[in-house]
Amino acid sequence: MSKLPHLSPLPLRYSAYALSLLGLAVSLFGLIILSPGWGWGVLVFGLLVTLGSYDLLQRTRTVSRNYPILAHLRYNLEAFGPEIRQYLIQTDTEQVPFSREQRRLVYQRAKGISDKQPFGSLHDMNHPGYEWMNHSLTPVETDKADFRITVGVGRARPYSASVFNISAMSFGALSANAISALNDGAREGGFYHDTGEGAISPYHRRGGDLVWEIGSGYFGCRDESGRFDPERFRRNARQEGVKMIEIKLSQGAKPGHGGILPAAKVTPEIASTRGVPQGEDVISPAAHSAFSTPREMIAFINELRDLADGKPVGIKLAIGHPWEWFAIVKAMLETGEHPDFVVVDGGEGGTGAAPLEFINRLGMPLSEALQLVHNTLVGAGLRDRVHLAAAGKMISAFDIARAMSLGADWCNAARGFMFALGCIQAQSCHNDRCPSGVATQDSLRGSRLDVPSKAQRVARFHANTLAALAEMLGAAGLSHPAELGPEHVLHRVSRHEVKSFSELHDHLTPGELLSGGADRHPVFRDYWESAHAESFSPPEAVIQLRYSKLV
């Protein structure tokens, strides 16, 4: 007697597909027998059946083959995961990368509404890592909050910079309206606007002070082969709006990494601004072609300063191998020449999209990098001639005070000013779908950003942040941020130990590196003497370590 074949029950994971088939059958019956109104059911269930059939037949997504239709719920939830966490799960103080508290502070100051908070701090002040400033029993009144620092003293065209400015963001990364609003805000507020390496666009020429950033692609000053063109540089650098020149050696978002702007994004406007062919990929090399040694870099700085009619020229870098930074300082000492300023970009990342490994694991964090650069300049006897700026997650007055206590003369912010423009941290900067119209080249999305109102918010965020800085300084008994030192900021090492920055970090004395006193500081002991102005190459001892694993 033969047995009937065993029929396995339909797996539960196919239930959505089976119900769609059933719904389509019922809808078809209703459409034919009952009324035309069933046509909506045919349309809806027909689309679901089509989707489920495609899921079963395709071979690239196993989850979709095992869970037809249902898998798309997972994909959609995954796509909206950052928004769900940001708005529904994260606490007010969780910084990923910026907390709700930080964003709210910027929005309030940009809009000119009260930024006061009731009922005490949300932070656990006993948690290791918590930091604060000490106040004074003899507070002072500050007359104004327009703190400034003169850069390029002794040059033909020095510049009086605000202690808080807009960091590098290119036209191409940001929309035309976003760049316009930033520049208008900088003009109204009296602070500078860094162009980013994408050159000086028409939207930068609205009257705001500019720092023109020159990257390895030499956009705005390149010849047909992509190399530096002195004459094109001279024409742009001598524009009245350009106040300083900044050579970008590396950036915190992707240190040591080049970039590519795909041909599809090279619009006629971007091609004209950058001086590149339209419809071709635009390459930003990882390294500069105008110099290859520290000495050559110093010579390039001098060349740019002459071509710019004596305007201050500086460098911007994220710190990596310490011997490379030491080699630059050695070149300053041996040539007797130096950049007018150094902008230290923290490895915490920034507005530039980059591979995850670069964002998370490459580049020295701002605190350590700033301390190393400041200490080196002090130890080499150059600190009074080279000004120092810090860039990296600057949102509040305390962020600025903290960086200046570690040695910075001024601070730059990128994402903070993006928040002032209306950025909601959707983290869509790289896919051209920015919902706020800030970081996009989609003309429709970008055009929705209202330039006059956002420019006012940019200016108000700057003014209100500096007003808060003035209040913090006054409470600490200080009248200018230049008076801040490492003794003013305290760091909780553990629940039972607190140290000021002056205790927590080593500090070189002026000229200490020149008198052989670097032996008591490990990084200087290991790399200062072996660094050379003629090369960025690692010391021989480092090379031997690299080869030792092959022995």
Model pLDDT for residues 413-451, shown as the tens digit of each residue: 999 999 999 888 877 777 777 888 898 888 888 888 999
Q: Are 479 and 140 in contact (CB under 8 A)?
A: yes
Residue 90 reports pLDDT greater than 90: no
- Both structure tokens of 519: 């032996």
Instruction: Count other Cβ atoms within 10 Å, centred on residue 157.
Output: 15
pLDDT over threshold 80, residue 123: yes
What are the residue boundaries of the structural domains of the chain, listed by start? Answer: 12-78, 148-513+520-528
pLDDT at 84 over 70: no
- pLDDT tens digits for 4-14? 555 556 688 89
**Distance between CA 248 and CA 288 in Å, rounded?**
9
pLDDT of res. 248: 96
Q: Is pLDDT above 80 for 355?
A: no
Confidence label for 352 from pLDDT (cuts 50, 70 and 90): low
**Which residues lie below 8 Å from residue 496, measured CB to CB, with a gap of 6+?**
none
CA separation for the pair 432, 441 (Å, rounded): 6
Do the Cβ atoms of 294 and 322 come closer than 8 Å?
no
Strand residue runs (E) in 329-427: 341-345, 387-391, 410-413
pLDDT for 10-53, tens place per residue? 688 899 999 999 999 999 999 999 899 999 999 999 999 999 99
Pair type for strands 341-345 and 313-317: parallel
Q: What is the pLDDT of residues 486-514, one digit of tens each?
A: 999 999 999 999 999 999 988 999 999 99
pLDDT digits (tens, 9 = 90+) for 96-114: 788 888 989 999 999 999 8
Share of the chain above pLDDT 70, in %: 93
Tokens of 240: 């009245």
Q: What is the largest CA-CA distance in the chain?
A: 108
Q: Which of 290, 410, 415, 257 minimizes the C-alpha distance to 342?
A: 410
Amino acid letter, 91: T
What's the burial of 14, exposed, middle or buried (CB within 10 Å: 0-12/13-18/19+)?
A: middle
Distance separating alpha carbons of residues 232 and 222, to the nearest angstrom: 7
pLDDT score of 353: 66
Q: Give dist(CA 342, CA 332) in Å, integer.
A: 13
Mean per-residue pLDDT over the chain, rounded: 90
Q: Is the pLDDT of residue 1 over 60?
A: no
Q: Residue 107 and residue 101: Cα distance in Å, rounded? A: 10
Query: Whole-angstrom Cα distance, residue 259 to residue 285?
Result: 7
State the burial class of residue 549 (Cβ atoms within 10 Å of its Cβ: 0-12, 13-18, 19+).
Answer: exposed
Sheet with 497-500, edge to edge strand ranges: 131-133, 489-494, 497-500
Of 78 and 238, the one with more pLDDT = 238
Question: Residue 169: pLDDT above 90?
Answer: yes
| Helices and strands, counts by H and E, the chain | 20, 15
Give the C-alpha separation, 103 to 420, whole Å.
Answer: 9
- Number of Cβ within 10 Å of residue 66's Cβ equals 14
Q: Is the pLDDT of residue 537 over 60?
A: yes
Instruction: Return the pLDDT at 322.
Output: 95
| pLDDT value, residue 82 | 67
* pLDDT value for 29: 92
- What pLDDT is recorded for position 310? 98
pLDDT 10s digits, 258-307: 777 777 778 889 899 999 998 888 888 889 999 999 999 999 999 999 99
pLDDT reported for residue 6: 53
Cβ neighbours of residue 275 under 8 Å, at least 6 residues apart? 199, 219, 220, 221, 222, 232
In whole angstroms, give the CA distance from residue 425 to residue 100: 10
Candidates 118, 120, 90, 119; CA nearest to 103 is: 90
Q: Is the pLDDT of residue 89 over 90?
A: no
The answer to whether residue 549 scores a pLDDT higher than 80 is no
For residues 286 and 266, give the distance between their C-alpha atoms in angstroms, rounded to a whole number. 20
506: how many CB neighbours lie within 10 A of its CB? Answer: 11
* Amino acid 435: pLDDT: 84
Distance CA 412, CA 235 (A): 26
Confidence of residue 244 (pLDDT cuts 50, 70, 90): very high
- Among the residue ranges 100-109, 234-243, 383-392, the one predicted with the least confidence is 100-109
* C-beta atoms surrounding 381 within 10 Å: 15
> With 0-12 CB in 10 A as exposed, 13-18 as middle and 19+ as buried, what is 158?
middle
Using CA atoms, how far apart are residues 528 and 402, in angstroms rounded to an integer? 27
- Which of 125-134, 178-187, 374-383 is predicted least confidently? 125-134
Cis peptide before 97 (omega within 30 of 0): yes
Question: Residue 461 — very low, low, confident or very high, per pLDDT cuts 50/70/90?
Answer: very high
Q: How far is CA 210 from CA 67, 116, 166, 200, 213, in A?
A: 55, 33, 10, 9, 9
Cα distance between residue 123 and residue 392, in whole Å: 21
Closest CA to 144 of 394, 400, 417, 469: 469
Mean pLDDT of 378-392: 96
CB–CB of 251/316 below 8 Å? yes
Confidence of residue 376 (pLDDT cuts 50, 70, 90): very high
- What topology does CATH give the domain 148-513+520-528? TIM Barrel (3.20.20)
Residue 359 predicted with pLDDT over 90: no
pLDDT of residue 87: 65
DSSP 345-362: EPTT--SS---HHHHHHS
Give the CA count within 13 Å in the CB-facing half-sphere of 461: 34
Cα(547)–Cα(129) distance, integer angstroms: 38
Report the distance separating Cα 507 and Cα 486, nearest Å: 10
The DSSP 8-state label assigned to residue 11 in this structure reads: P
